[in-house]
Amino acid sequence: MVPLLDTAVPVLLARIGNYPLHHGSLGVVRTVGRLGVPVHAVVEDRFTPVALSRHLTSRIVWPTTGREEPEWLADGLLSIGRAIGTRCVAVPTDDEAAILLAEHAHRLRECFLIPSVPAHLPRLLACKAGLHRICTEADVPSPRSRAPESRDELVDAGRELGYPLVLKNLAPFSRLRTPAVSGTTTVVSSERAMLDRFPKAAPPPVLVQEYIPRQQAEDWITHIYCGAGGVPRALFTGLKLRSWPPYAGMTARAVALRNSELARLAERLCRRIGYSGLADLDWRYDRRDGQYKLVDFNPRTGAQFRLFENVHGVDVVRAMHLDLTGRDVPDGAQAEGRVFVAGQLDLASVAAWLRHERRLPPDLLSERPTERAWLCRDDLLPAAAETIRFTALVTWRLLRPARSGLTGHR
């Protein structure tokens, strides 16, 4: 039986940046809204999928880019909180919002219930170089990484780590202001390809990371909510089956599988650094040395968090609400075998699999319990809005080269 949440304490979906097609945000609205908790959401416009959910109490149109001054963003959140009129549990769905809540908690606690995380920690964990240092100090395996500050250091890093290489935007906020790569991750095959990508003397903030061959790897995820002092109140592990873009992007399909070794690693890390709050951790199992290597630590709820529940129906967002409102978080085993499917991302990942493997994915017709990111019988409008906007986005991107060509011949 799902525990009763305190319906007198609403939730604010806190978001910084422009990402209207985000199924994790919709998951937050649904998971607590279904239990009678009022949910207020920051949205880019009135017609985003989240804004159309029947489980949403109010939509706050506040478009941001992440390039604004942090003080201005904090002032904006305070204004939103004061307008709601009741202290809310603030749920961040991006790194920037999580950092803002932590670094300005002394002001924002006037309106919001926020985990007692050390103010500097979310920024340090979300920074790829900072995470690598933390892993080294905490004896948690991670891929070899470098954060070059010059073109010469970029070349040296590539020659030291070897090709192909993984490139990532180095830090939150800078990934929005001066992105080094589009999306989250890019793989480059040679030194020439890397230098062509960064023709200037000094590269933008970028992390250079060793590439673990996909034939020798498995992608795993950990979703966790920690209370005070880094004590896990809900901890789940799962296997990422496919992603989009392939092998390097967002989860397109995943299955909930209990992995005791991975759970121990995540718990040990969070206790050692005193992390409190929601977190989404990405791991890569390297068959070459038998180690789970931490690739990303996102100090906020993950897009696929609804994959995971314990036997009492508690997911990480429900656990956070229970904990911050002073209620018990029921402890229980992870519900095994649940499958998460992310709509059109899954269709694209299937097409990529067919192209590379010349066969259908073996998990395509799974009979396991499935959590769908968008389509839901009791909340149909968000799926319709997502389909329309996703189709329009794909069409615009396909037509853009043609439009550019026509413009160039005028």
Under CATH, to which class is 1-114 assigned? alpha beta
Hey, which residues does 90 pair with through a beta bridge? Answer: 12
Contact between 234 and 314 (Cβ < 8 Å): yes
Pick from 104, 30, 23, 98: nearest CA to 300: 98
Report whether CATH 3.30.470.20 matches the domain 121-136+215-373. Answer: yes
Domain boundaries, the chain: 1-114, 121-136+215-373, 144-211
The tens-digit pLDDT sequence of the chain (410 residues) is 778 899 999 999 999 999 999 999 999 999 999 999 999 999 999 999 999 999 999 999 999 999 999 999 999 999 999 999 999 999 999 999 999 999 999 999 999 999 999 999 999 999 999 999 999 999 999 999 999 988 889 999 999 999 999 999 999 988 888 888 887 788 999 999 998 888 877 777 899 999 999 889 999 999 999 999 999 999 999 999 998 877 777 899 999 999 999 999 999 999 999 999 999 999 999 999 999 999 999 999 999 999 999 999 999 999 999 999 999 999 999 998 899 999 888 888 888 778 877 777 777 766 677 899 999 999 999 999 999 998 888 788 777 655 455 445 44
One-letter amino acid at 169 equals N
Dump the DSSP string for 238-261. Answer: EEEEEEESTTTSEEEEEEE---HH
Q: Report how far apart, in Å, the C-alpha atoms of 98 and of each of 8, 49, 115 are.
A: 23, 22, 10
Residue 37 in tokens: 């908790």
Which CATH number is 144-211's, of 3.40.50.300, 3.30.1490.20, 3.30.565.10, 3.90.1150.10? 3.30.1490.20
For residue 366, the model assigns a pLDDT of 65
Total residue count of the chain as it appears in this document: 410
Output the CA angle 97-111-61, nearest 5 degrees: 55
For residue 400, the model assigns a pLDDT of 66
Residue 172 in tokens: 């939150």
Taking every pair of Cα atoms in the chain, the longest distance, rounded to a whole number of angstroms, is 67
Where do the H-state alpha helices sit in 278-315? none
CA 364 to chain centre: 24
For residue 367, the model assigns a pLDDT of 64
| Domains 1-114 and 121-136+215-373 belong to one CATH topology | no
CB crowding 263-296: b at 16 or more within 10 Å, else e? bebbbebbeebebbbbbbbbbbbbeeeebbbbbb
Which residues, including other chains, have CB under 8 Å from residue 367's CB and lie 6 or more apart? none
